[in-house]
């Protein structure tokens, strides 16, 4: 057992590095989600817009605290960004709908009732956990905990500049 424990620790550290330590170096998982409003959100077919996905729960105070910032971001950047809030599998759908209405959330809300979306992103268990996916389908920002909105907006701005530069 003493010989196996260090190997398990090394394996966990290496896996953690590749999941959480390589921003921009791995493609987003290919997931198609349907929002509560019936809209289809695809992680890879982005229509030239990045996608900010945030995994949240109705019982997560940090998640609730981020919601006004996400609403504001959706208002200001709707032409440059899609936002999807993914409610965790353990959240009651009626509670999610009630919170969406009470908070006037204007971005896509998806319920991950089977846990497939969280699993595709590496087995998300902690909320909030967020990913910014480039228009090309690459994860360019990820964070467990509160979103760094300044960093996300800089990445979105850089994406827009890169796109304009490539077009000529």
pLDDT in tens, 68-94: 999 999 999 999 999 999 999 999 999
Find, among 80, 82, 84, 83, the residue nearest to 161 by Cα. Answer: 80
pTM above 0.85, yes or no: no
Residue in the structure block whose two tokens are 């019936």 = 38
pLDDT, position 152:
96
pLDDT value of position 16: 45
Give the separation between CA 59 and CA 106, rounded to whole angstroms: 20
Instruction: Retrieve residue 46's tokens.
Output: 């982005």
CA distance 111 to 55: 10
User: According to the model, what pLDDT value does residue 168 have?
Assistant: 55
Q: Tell me, what's the pLDDT at 14?
A: 39
Helix (H, G, I), strand (E, B) or coil at 93: helix
Position 47 scores a pLDDT of 82
Q: What is the CA radius of gyration of the chain?
A: 17
pLDDT level of residue 3 (50, 70, 90 thresholds): low
**Mean pLDDT for the chain overall:** 87
Token duo for residue 56: 């949240």
DSSP symbols for 59-103: T-HHHHHHHHHHHHHHHHHTTT-EEEEEE-TTS-HHHHHHHHHHH
Which domains are assigned to the chain?
25-167 (3.40.30.10)
- pLDDT exceeds cutoff 70 at 144: yes
Residue 120 burial (C-beta neighbours within 10 Å; 0-12, 13-18, 19+): middle
Q: Which residues contact 84 (CB under 8 A, 6 or more apart)?
A: 33, 35, 41, 51, 52, 53, 54, 107, 108, 109, 110
**18 pLDDT above the threshold of 50:** no
Query: In sequence order, what are the residues at sequence separation of 6 or more whose Cβ sits closer than 8 angstroms to the Cβ of residue 17?
Result: none
């Amino acid at each position: 057992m003493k010989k196996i424990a260090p190997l398990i620790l090394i394996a966990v550290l290496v896996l953690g590095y590749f999941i959480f330590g390589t921003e921009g170096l791995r493609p987003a998982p290919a997931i198609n989600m349907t929002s509560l409003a019936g809209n289809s959100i695809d992680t890879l077919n982005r229509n030239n817009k990045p996608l900010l996905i945030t995994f949240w729960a109705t019982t997560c105070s940090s998640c609730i605290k981020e919601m006004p910032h996400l609403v504001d971001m959706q208002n200001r950047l709707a032409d440059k960004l899609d936002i999807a809030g993914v409610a965790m599998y353990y959240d009651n759908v009626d509670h999610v709908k009630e919170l969406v209405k009470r908070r006037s959330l204007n971005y896509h809300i998806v319920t991950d009732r089977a846990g497939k979306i969280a699993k595709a992103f590496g087995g998300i268990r902690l909320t909030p956990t967020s990913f910014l996916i480039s228009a090309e389908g690459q994860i360019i920002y990820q964070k467990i905990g509160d979103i760094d909105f300044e960093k996300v907006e800089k990445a979105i701005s850089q994406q827009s500049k890169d796109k304009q530069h490539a077009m000529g």
